[in-house]
Amino acid sequence: MPNEGSFQEAQRRSDEAWRDLREHPERHVMLSGDRPTGRLHLGHYFGTEAQRVELQDMGATCYILVADYQVITDRDTTEHIRENTCNMVLDYLAIGIDPAKTTIFAHSQVPALNQLMLPFLSLVTEAELLRNPTVKSEQEASGHALTGLLLTYPVHQACDILFCKGTLVPVGMDQLPHIEQTRQIAHRFNRRFGEVFPEPVALLSDVKLLPGLDGRKMSKSYGNAIDISMTAEETAKLIRKSRTDSERKITFDPENRPGVSALLTTAAICSGRSPEEIADEIGDAGAGALKAYVTEAVNAFFAPIRERRAELERDMDYVRDVLHEGNAKANRVADETLGQVLEAMGMVY
Ligand code: TRP
CB 180 within 8 A of CB 10: yes
Domains of the chain: 4-207+316-344 (3.40.50.620), 220-313 (1.10.240.10)
d(CA 185, CA 122): 9
CB 214 within 8 A of CB 222: yes
Q: Average pLDDT of 84-108?
A: 98
d(CA 51, CA 48): 5
Mean pLDDT, the chain, integer: 95
DSSP H or E segment with residue 168 = strand 168-170
Q: What are phi and psi for residue 65, nearest 5 degrees?
A: -115, 145
**Which has the higher per-residue pLDDT, 341 or 209?**
341
DSSP H or E segment with residue 157 = helix 148-162
Residue 60 near ligand 1, beta carbon < 6 Å: no
Crossing angle between the packed helical segments 148-162 and 133-142, to the nearest 10 degrees: 130
Residue 34 near ligand 1, beta carbon < 6 Å: yes
Q: How many helices (H) and strands (E) does the chain have?
A: 15, 5
The residue whose CA is least distant from atom 3 of ligand 1 is 34
Give the number of other Cβ atoms within 10 Å of residue 303's Cβ: 11
- CA of 35 from ligand 1 middle (Å) equals 7
Q: Interior CA angle at 245 toward 233 and 249, to 5°?
A: 95
Residue 74 near ligand 1, beta carbon < 6 Å: no
Residue 181 near ligand 1, beta carbon < 6 Å: no
What percentage of residues in the chain have a pLDDT greater than 90? Answer: 90
What percentage of residues in the chain have a pLDDT greater than 70? Answer: 99
Residue 132 near ligand 1, beta carbon < 6 Å: no
- CA of 94 from ligand 1 middle (Å) equals 20
Helix residue ranges per DSSP H, 194-315: 232-240, 258-271, 275-282, 286-313
β-bridge pairing 29-34 and 201-203:
unpaired
| 243-278 per-position pLDDT tens digit | 999 999 999 999 999 999 999 999 999 999 999 999
| 129-186 per-position pLDDT tens digit | 999 999 999 999 888 889 999 999 999 999 999 999 999 999 888 889 999 999 999 9
d(CA 98, CA 51): 14
Q: Interior CA angle at 46 toward 71 and 223, to 5°?
A: 55
Q: Relative to the CA of 166, which ligand 1 atom is closest?
A: 14
**Could you tell me how many residues make up the chain?**
349
pLDDT of residue 22: 94
- CA of 347 from ligand 1 middle (Å) equals 30
Q: Interior CA angle at 310 toward 307 and 313, to 5°?
A: 150
pLDDT of residue 5: 67
Q: Interior CA angle at 176 toward 107 and 329, to 5°?
A: 25
User: What are the CA-CA distances from residue 177 to residues 77, 117, 143, 181 (Å)?
Assistant: 27, 18, 21, 6
| 41-92 per-position pLDDT tens digit | 999 999 889 999 999 999 999 999 999 999 999 888 999 999 999 999 999 9
d(CA 204, CA 103): 22
| 204-236 per-position pLDDT tens digit | 877 778 999 999 999 888 999 999 999 999 999
Residue 179 near ligand 1, beta carbon < 6 Å: no
Residue 159 near ligand 1, beta carbon < 6 Å: no
Residue of 137, 159, 160, 169 to test ligand 1 pocket, by largest number of atoms within 8 Å of CB: 160
Q: Which residues contact 210 (CB under 8 A, 6 or more apart)?
A: 42, 43, 46, 47, 218, 265, 266, 269
Half-sphere exposure of 234 (CA within 13 A, CB side): 11
Strand partners, 104: 64
Radius of gyration of the chain (CA): 21
